[in-house]
Chain A
Amino acid sequence: MSAGYKAVSWTRSKILYDVVLIAGIVAYITIFFRFGALPGPDGLSPDAPTLAMKAFGSCGFLLLTIVLAIGPLARLDRRFLPLLYNRRHFGVITCAIAASHASAALGWYFAFSDLPPLKALFAADTSFGQVSGFPFVILGVAAFLILLVMAATSHDFWLTFLGAPTWKSIHMAVYGAYALVVGHLALGALQDARSWVLPAVCAVSVVTLILLHLAAALSQNATDACIATASSPPWVVAGKLSAFAEGRAIVVHLADAEPVAIFRHDNMLSAVTNVCAHQNGPLGEGCVIDGLITCPWHGFQYRLADGCAPPPFTERIATYRLALDGDTVLLDPQPNPPGTYVEPIRVGSPVA
């Protein structure tokens, strides 16, 4: 947690995550160079720059697919949660791989032009009119620019400086980048693909991502207790008490307001905003550790009763009032100012 921008503390799991990620990439590129250099059906072996372009391009595409799959996977099954940590490093590394692809591609594609490659890129076919003539490279460049802006604004400073809504919309643009890359492939490499591998990888990736996002959306709707229904004002129904499991939260989605996470800990209920003060992580998907709500993304912690981070940290999040009507949990959707103490509601005897 931050009381000022100190270097993020490197924990063992973060180092492990980066080591696995980088080792995976190195292995992929190595294998690609080993087997990709074999002669194709036409008896020709690709030259080294082409091979590098293909290795880094496909690696970037796969990394982008994985990073987009992590979100819905973690929502579907909590065991994927650890993959959510450090998505920032994942993004920055993906951007670096895309940059290697672009520089290899520029070196190769325009090797026969006497213009500097970056200029040749835009001097090359600019027939935006028809689909087949549309310069697929422009789509790649646009995708790369999005990845670059995302990587460049990944430091926490940018979240404070730009404000959470702007920052979040910048980072949602990763879906746009993915669509651009798919266009980059569809209009470029897939037009004259001589093997089935790239079209197959591309199709499987896109279909998998769509299915995962659909499944995650459906399962969220299925846990129906989550959608707040009206009760006598100001209260809304958050759900049946039996739906609240010890040590976990239920996330209540309100119309036109931030979702609220209601935690049951030691048989007491407390409600806080679902939005972490650090980078808007989903607090309700985290758990209670040492009596503190622990964000699943980077582990910021907050006290249950007043939403304050334990000293020396200074973050505070909004709390909410709760009430019990028989076995129905009621929530006042009006947030208290961040850090406001709300007496937790006892719903059973303390857990030993």
Chain B
Amino acid sequence: MTFADLVYWCGLVYGGLGLGVAAAFLVFGLDRVDRSARGSFAFRPLLVPGLVLLWPVVIANWRRLLLRGT
């Protein structure tokens, strides 16, 4: 496996996991962690790129906000 292959596959796996986290967060997470999002749907697709790019941060914050009980 070359360096290029490694970067390529890491990118692919990271992005794939990110898509999963993004879908889960939009369906199950958003309404519980952010009250202003309730009832607004049009803006949700706008969040997808960020959720895919930052999914580890998303999971960490999601957990933190749930534990705090907001």
Contacts A119-B5, A157-B47, A161-B33; A5 near B40 (Cβ below 8 A): yes
Q: Are B34 and A149 in contact (CB under 8 A)?
A: no
Contact with B along A99-110 (1 / 0, CB 8 A): 000000000000
A119 to B43, CA, bound (A): 33
Most buried by B among A3, A4, A161: A161
Interface residues of B in 22-63 (CB under 8 A from A): 33-34, 36-40, 42-43, 46-47, 49-50, 53-54, 57-58, 61
Q: Are B61 and A162 in contact (CB under 8 A)?
A: yes
Name the one of A6, A120, A160 contacting B40, with C-beta atoms under 8 angstroms: A6
Q: Are B4 and A122 in contact (CB under 8 A)?
A: yes
Q: Are B61 and A161 in contact (CB under 8 A)?
A: yes
B residues less than 8 Å from A148 (CB atoms): 49, 53
The residue of chain B having its C-beta at the shortest distance from the C-beta of A141 within the complex is B7
A residues less than 8 Å from B50 (CB atoms): 149, 152-153, 155, 158
The minimal Cβ–Cβ distance linking A146 to chain B, given in whole angstroms, is: 11
A157 to B51, CA, bound (A): 11
The minimal Cβ–Cβ distance linking B8 to chain A, given in whole angstroms, is: 5
B residues less than 8 Å from A5 (CB atoms): 36-37, 40, 43
Contacts A157-B37, A157-B43, A161-B33; A152 near B8 (Cβ below 8 A): no
The minimal Cβ–Cβ distance linking A155 to chain B, given in whole angstroms, is: 5
Q: Are B3 and A160 in contact (CB under 8 A)?
A: no
B residues less than 8 Å from A6 (CB atoms): 40
A-B interface, 4 closest residue pairs, ranked by CB to CB distance from nearest: A152-B50, A123-B4, A152-B49, A122-B4
- A residues at B contact (CB < 8 Å): 2-7, 115, 118-123, 126, 148-149, 151-153, 155, 157-158, 160-162
- B residues at A contact (CB < 8 Å): 2-5, 7-8, 11, 33-34, 36-40, 42-43, 46-47, 49-50, 53-54, 57-58, 61, 65
